[in-house]
A and B are shown apart, each in its own frame.
Chain A
Amino acid sequence: MDYFPLWNSLRIALISTTIIFFAGIAAAYYIAKTPRLVKGILDVVLTLPLVLPPTVVGYLLLRVLGPNRLIGRWVLKMFDIKLTMTWWSAIFATTVVIFPLMYRTARGAFESFDETLADSARTLGLSGSFIFWRIRMPVCKQGIIAGCVLAFARALGEYGATSMIAGYTPGRTATISTTVYQLWRTNDDAGAFFWVMINLAISAVVLLIVNMLEGSRKRRQGA
């Protein structure tokens, strides 16, 4: 059995989750401070990938990253790197698709954060980075972890945008979801079923983790 799709899916999901961990938190933190109008507009733009069909995201990504398009052409010329149809091309797709999940959960966590905690830390002379990493983040920990786990699960299952930008090349760009589709299409029912079961198992574990986090948060709040 060739486990490449599992390994490939996991690395794509892990890398894109790491990226949106920082990007989503930074966006949530800074956008929460902007004026209401700006916040409203940015909120819509940043949440769009959540509601758009993944094929639309894939199409839009190809419009900018494709070898004959603005960024794709420039990178190809300058670095001789083709941005599409490699294993890491899928990272572009998953990152865009899962970004809103992280952004919204992190923002929800930050919005329920009691600002007097930050204010009191300032009066004690504690630095901004101490307040962020040692007070704000730990207090919002559960929401942020839940966002990461959800984003990771979604990245693992990404199909539409991934298949458009990375395609399906066995052993090179195949992920679990593209493999399931390919095996089913070629009448390899047993193979497709095997990968479906793997995907089910991973997703179940992830949702279990999310529920455990939510449960312990509720207990802590005394609900």
Chain B
Amino acid sequence: MSLSVHIVKKLDAFTLRADFETDGGVAGLLGMSGSGKSMTLKCIAGIETPDEGRIVLDGVTLFDAEKKINVRTQKRRVGYLFQNYALYPHMTVRQNILCGLHAKKDPHEREEVLAKVLNEFRIEEIADAKPAHISGGQAQRTALARILVNRPKVLLLDEPFSALDAHLRLQMQLEMKLVLDAYDGEVVMVTHNREEAYHLCESIAVTDSGKVSALRKTKELFADPVSFNAARVTGCKNIATAQKTGAHEIFVPEWNVRFTTEKEVRDDVKGVAFRAHYLHPRTESNRYPVHFAGEMEQPFEWVLLYRYGGQPEDTEPLWWRVPKDKRPQTFPETLGIAPVNLLLLYE
């Protein structure tokens, strides 16, 4: 079970370059909107044609520019969950799902599968409703049911939760997790939401203006993003360029500070990042004077904004996230950060 994607496609805004190979499990493409994630899915599905490269699914070549292979979408056996779910508005939920069962000729068998899937996805009571009259969660279940009864070899999920109201998102993520656990093919999920990616994907490739990087294990990627873009899309708020000044020391010109790092610094270091939770008023290491630059109240946290003493006013402030009950009574004059929490960036 594997999907290998090595493609190049010229687009108006950038050139899409995707190079990754899944190894079973759920693969995520994480990046900002307009970075080429959906286009990658469309190329895998055959909706769009790459200019160069090849796409191989379970040993079957779906696309090869050199050998002039381009299997029709209809023959690729991909299950594509569109962002808007693409339910046919003139058909009922039942008829929509039957569209996925068109290959089954025996009507009894068809009805059997239909009844089973309506029950599994808890959409029996809306089976005769049109898509305009069902909820977002029901629409997603219907679309998934329609795809899964078609028995696809790969499941492509394009921003599966973005069309849902916020309160439904988490619940649908839990449901999706169960569906994906039960599904035995390849899964590629596109999202710009790092929580969704972290929850559902075993490995993640980050995308940046057309470049889709190789897949990395999700936990490794979040623990050590390595690239500026990966640091950004995994939610790092404090990112700056940096220079090596010692085996375990870097200088950050933008903040005008010197940091000691836990990891050995390679010569080609380009930047440093740390997460907003890790600034600490009582950490002794990497401790520098700061001045207050603003604050944001969130439901369960405060975001306190600071600048280092030598940091110019026109640069981005540092983010410090504090749980509400840990908010200091008086604002600290210095903030430290443990060497282990400094992430070194190389690309």
CB-contacts of B86-122 with A (<8 A) = 86, 88-90, 99-100, 102-103
Interface flag for B147 (CB, 8 Å) = yes
CA distance A143 to B42 in the complex (A): 29
Question: Is the pair B84, A138 in contact by a Cβ cutoff of 8 Å?
Answer: no
In angstroms, Cα B109 to Cα A83, docked, is 57
B75 within 8 A of A: yes
In-complex Cβ contact of A139 among B45, B76, B84, B89 (8 A): B89
Q: B16: which A residues are within 8 A, CB to CB? A: none
* Beta-carbon contacts under 8 Å, A132-147 to B: 135, 138-139, 141
Residues on A with beta carbons closer than 8 Å to the beta carbon of B78: 123
Bitwise, B118-153 to A at CB < 8 A (1) or not (0) is 000000000000001000000000000011001010
B74 with A126: CB separation less than 8 A: yes
Extra 17 A-B pairs, beta carbons < 8 Å, given A122-B72, A220-B132? A116-B84, A119-B42, A119-B47, A119-B82, A119-B86, A120-B86, A122-B46, A123-B47, A123-B76, A123-B78, A123-B147, A123-B152, A124-B102, A124-B146, A125-B77, A138-B90, A141-B90
Of the candidates B77, B84, B99, the one whose C-beta lies within 8 Å of that of A121 is B99
- Most chain B beta carbons < 10 A, residue from A117, A120, A125, A141: A120
CA separation between A117 and B87, bound complex, in Å?
A: 7
User: Is A80 on the interface with B (CB-CB < 8 A)?
Assistant: no
Complex A-B, nearest 5 residue pairs according to Cβ-Cβ distance, in ascending order: A120-B86, A122-B73, A123-B80, A116-B86, A138-B90
Distance from A130 Cβ to chain B, minimum over Cβ atoms (Å): 8
Choice from A127, A141, A220 contacting B74 with Cβ under 8 Å: A127
Chain B 48-89, CB-CB to A under 8 Å as 1, else 0, gives: 000000000000000000000000111111111010101011
Whole-angstrom distance between the Cβ of B251 and the nearest chain A Cβ? 50
Say yes or no: A124 contacts B99, CB within 8 Å: yes
Size bracket of the B interface = 20 to 34
Which one of B45, B47, B79, B103 has the highest number of Cβ atoms from chain A below 10 Å of its Cβ? B47
Tally chain A residues at the interface, Cβ within 8 Å: 18
**Of all chain B residues, which has the CB nearest A119?**
B47
Please give the distance in Å from B274's CB to the nearest CB on chain A. Answer: 40
Residue numbers in A under 8 Å from B147 (CB-CB): 123-124
Residues of B within 8 A of A117 (CB): 86, 88
Report Cα–Cα, A120/B152, bound state, in Å.
13
In this assembly, does A114 line the interface, its C-beta being within 8 Å of a C-beta of chain B?
Answer: yes
Query: Which of the listed residues B42, B100, B132 has the most CB atoms from chain A within 10 Å of its own CB?
Result: B100
When chains A and B are docked, how far (Å) is the Cα of A223 from the Cα of B102?
34
Q: What are the residues of chain A within 8 A of B86 when measuring CB–CB?
A: 114, 116-117, 119-120
A56 to chain B, nearest CB (A): 41
Query: Which residues on A sit within 8 Å (CB–CB) of B46?
Result: 122
Give the one of A119, A123, A135, A139 with max B CB within 10 A. Answer: A123
**What would be 24 A-B contacts, judged by CB atoms less than 8 Å apart?**
A114-B84, A116-B82, A119-B47, A119-B73, A119-B86, A120-B82, A121-B99, A122-B45, A122-B46, A123-B45, A123-B74, A123-B76, A123-B78, A124-B99, A124-B100, A124-B147, A124-B150, A125-B75, A125-B102, A126-B102, A130-B102, A138-B90, A139-B88, A139-B90
Closest to B48 in A: A119
Residue of chain A at shortest CB distance from B90: A138
Nearest B-chain residue to A140, judged by Cβ: B90
Kindly list chain B residues whose C-beta atoms are within 8 Å of the C-beta of A114: 84, 86
**Which residues of chain B have C-beta atoms less than 8 A from A125's C-beta?**
74-75, 77, 102-103, 150
Contacts of A139 in B (CB 8 A): 88-90
Residues on A with beta carbons closer than 8 Å to the beta carbon of B76 = 123
Chain A residue at minimal CB-CB distance from B102: A126
Q: Which residue of A lies closest to B152 (CB)?
A: A123
Smallest Cβ-Cβ distance to B45: which chain A residue: A123
Complex: how many Å from CA A114 to CA B100? 19
Report A-chain residues with C-beta under 8 Å of the C-beta of B150: 124-125
